[in-house]
Structure 1
């Protein structure tokens, strides 16, 4: 695991190479599991030609933080970039 995916502790945003989709990774602070930490991964579609409107949120999944770090790193490796919060 590299330093970028280790930083995934509270919230992080990524945008795909063609700027049509965003992902938000946020820690589930209300987690009741005493053994594992979980993150929400929200996916959204960029709206408008310049992304002037907030993305339309499509999906939300909750996964273990280790799996979220792996997914984050896979996206970075495939060309996704860190971006500012979109909503």
Structure 2
């Protein structure tokens, strides 16, 4: 149950930021004890992959090879 609420909360943060036009929602969901010692783009990829893996419908979840591909894919430059 707790995991379901966490997934919903993260999706709401992402959706809210997208609607407001702000580029990065990641600062609102990353543990503040991390400070600024992380790559924002990389963290966004990790969160998006995690959300896909948490899909309720098993057919909507990526396979492990797809997860590995998404995590290893080079980040596009903005």
Q: TM-score with structure 2 length normalisation?
A: 0.26
> Whose RCO is larger (CA < 8 A, sep 6+)?
1
Compare the two structures and name the one with the higher strand fraction.
1
Compare the two structures and name the one with the higher helix fraction.
2
